[in-house]
Structure 1
């Protein structure tokens, strides 16, 4: 004997039966991961609407209407402006997408003005940021995953990080700060997908040749929870074949001290997002830590990474890179020096100020 259907099952059955008469706007919105107001706005502004309306007023979407909406979502997520995406979706054509990163072209395509429909304060940024932002606001995980992977493949890790990932993350963070508890889920989901994309880069590079230099240690200072910039650096080091040890968020001073003494690193990267977390005493301690036999003591070079270290010129034995690209260049130079016969290959990284 069949059991009676539960409320959720009855609702699903009702939605499954709706296509004969058309699907409601709410059901389509849930299926596509967009807000019902977005669908109504697309209908009003761009004519992306249902072919028929019940009683002349209520929207009822057919399978053909939904296919056009799906294409509209795909195009806007790839950075195509909504008006252009709507024309292409209705016509069944594919608009020309940007083919080169802004940093690599003499004349970048002009960025669109705010008001693209994603609600994020992106300002003057490249189109891919808008596509990623729209997908994040829709909580569209598959699109974010596909976008990040294709961008890294097309433009490289550093450009994707600096020109797409960081601006979009900052925009979501600003929206969170100004909207109370709203957009927390957007920030968390976007951060998770960025982290996943970065780790895929690192994992994909593990099978390549590895440098013979001592490792590079990556750590957030105590009290610092922002790890994504260090994850980007770890992925970049993996691409270069440079050995690294990632310790993540809020590393206690004692743990970092033990890691330095045990591994004899060529460099230690300390990340501080804010001045309140920057631990200058810890940075000096790490830079002054020596190991090895008497007469051949070695020290490491400390990279002060992140905006929290802004201020006085770093002391001898410390460097302050201006971003991911510069940090990778400095660390590659330190590893090459440590691997050369003059460098000793034992963690005796050159002292630089």
Structure 2
């Protein structure tokens, strides 16, 4: 079964009898790997409830209904842990009296906390956010470039870069990443295609609407990944928002050597340096401290850049004098010229 076949609407419904089937047979029927089934059993207790002596474990129709729910939920982009909770709640609901079942079903159908927060912050109804996300995830799984491009661009135009990043782009990228991790080597092409289209949409967004006139005399904001870091999309989102505002910004990209970043700071005299780290192992506190001490300009009027440590790799680390935004919205607010001017010594 191809990736394009796996969607909330197209998951197969095999004709299974009361004797149950083996894990291998169920995996083939649902188009997932046996490893994924074993992982769901070990992590979320979604395994078969019956085992016969000397034989493989058998999946009953009730077990199969639960794992089929799990497939549908994860295919729609819901995180595996949340999907497992919902699938198990629905399984319990199917065996409860009507009055209790109604309450359980309502709880199981509640949107994930992240989605609820995104909808509340944007003013969008939960249904609109969910529908847009599902449509994008479905197009990505089917490698439908035209549909991906259309959905991303229309969402950006209607709701803006920040809302598109928080409510559509980032959740879809995370969902595809989780699917890739749980399916071995499958879906890598999906993640690459979606990432390319997100990057393209963010660059196109700089002209939607007409960008403000660049303030050429303002010190720029430098955007760079720490050495070894390849994830640039969050910085591209910051670049798109700042460019729309007409602010001076320089994108230095992925895996920038420390020496190159230091040279760029000395040459441009930035108001701020945003240093992105996706993983803790790559977050370099010595580099952050060095940037905070780095100064330029004539004696008596020397200046320093503000240092913004962005990304999950910095969580739990303390670098005195730096700021650590919690997300795109907070980062671009901190990077307004009035908030982070170049600091005089």
Which TM class, normalised by the smaller chain length?
0.5 to 0.7
- Equivalent pair of 1:221/1:278 in contact (CA under 8 Å): yes
After superposition, the Cα gap between the structure-2 partners of 1:39 and 1:303, relative to the gap in structure 1 and judged at 3 Å, is closer
Alignment partner of 2:137 out of 133, 146, 166: 133
Counterpart Cα distance in 2 of 1:305 and 1:171: 21
Partner of 1:349: 343
Pairing 1:259–2:276 present: no
After superposition, the Cα gap between the structure-2 partners of 1:105 and 1:233, relative to the gap in structure 1 and judged at 3 Å, is closer
Alignment partner of 2:172 out of 122, 146, 168: 168
Q: 1:34 Cα deviation (Å)?
A: 4.3
Counterpart Cα distance in 2 of 1:201 and 1:264: 27
Partner secondary structure for residue 188 of structure 1: helix
After superposition, the Cα gap between the structure-2 partners of 1:350 and 1:322, relative to the gap in structure 1 and judged at 3 Å, is farther
Alignment partner of 2:119 out of 82, 102, 105: 102
Q: 1:208 Cα deviation (Å)?
A: 2.5
Partner secondary structure for residue 196 of structure 1: helix
- Equivalent pair of 2:224/2:275 in contact (CA under 8 Å): yes
After superposition, the Cα gap between the structure-2 partners of 1:189 and 1:203, relative to the gap in structure 1 and judged at 3 Å, is same
Pairing 1:307–2:312 present: yes
Partner of 2:43: none
Partner of 1:225: 230
Count of aligned pairs = 242
Q: 1:127 Cα deviation (Å)?
A: 1.8
Q: 1:42 Cα deviation (Å)?
A: 8.8
- Equivalent pair of 1:206/1:238 in contact (CA under 8 Å): no
Counterpart Cα distance in 2 of 1:290 and 1:127: 49
Partner of 2:250: 245
After superposition, the Cα gap between the structure-2 partners of 1:40 and 1:197, relative to the gap in structure 1 and judged at 3 Å, is closer
Counterpart Cα distance in 1 of 2:142 and 2:303: 52
Structure 1 segments unaligned to the other structure (5+ residues): 1-25, 46-76, 78-100, 112-124
Partner secondary structure for residue 304 of structure 1: strand
Partner of 1:145: 149
* CA RMSD of superposed structures (Å): 3.0
Pairing 1:281–2:278 present: no
TM-score, with structure 1 as normaliser: 0.63
Q: 1:44 Cα deviation (Å)?
A: 8.6
TM-score, with structure 2 as normaliser: 0.64
Counterpart Cα distance in 1 of 2:332 and 2:192: 27
Pairing 1:336–2:338 present: yes
Instruction: Report which stretch shifted further, 253-262 or 201-210.
Output: 201-210
Q: 1:239 Cα deviation (Å)?
A: 1.2
- Equivalent pair of 1:304/1:320 in contact (CA under 8 Å): yes
Partner secondary structure for residue 126 of structure 1: helix
Q: 1:254 Cα deviation (Å)?
A: 0.6
Q: 1:108 Cα deviation (Å)?
A: 2.8
After superposition, the Cα gap between the structure-2 partners of 1:234 and 1:137, relative to the gap in structure 1 and judged at 3 Å, is same
Q: 1:105 Cα deviation (Å)?
A: 6.5
Radius of gyration: which is bigger? Answer: 1
Counterpart Cα distance in 2 of 1:304 and 1:337: 16
Q: 1:277 Cα deviation (Å)?
A: 0.6
Partner of 2:212: 208
- Equivalent pair of 1:304/1:321 in contact (CA under 8 Å): yes
Counterpart Cα distance in 1 of 2:122 and 2:297: 49
Counterpart Cα distance in 1 of 2:306 and 2:323: 7
Structure 2 segments unaligned to the other structure (5+ residues): 15-75, 77-117
Counterpart Cα distance in 2 of 1:179 and 1:244: 39
Deviation sequence 1:258-317 (CA, Å, 0-9, x none): 00000000000000001001011111111110011111110000000000001144312x
After superposition, the Cα gap between the structure-2 partners of 1:42 and 1:253, relative to the gap in structure 1 and judged at 3 Å, is closer
Pairing 1:184–2:188 present: yes
Q: 1:207 Cα deviation (Å)?
A: 4.9
Counterpart Cα distance in 1 of 2:7 and 2:324: 45
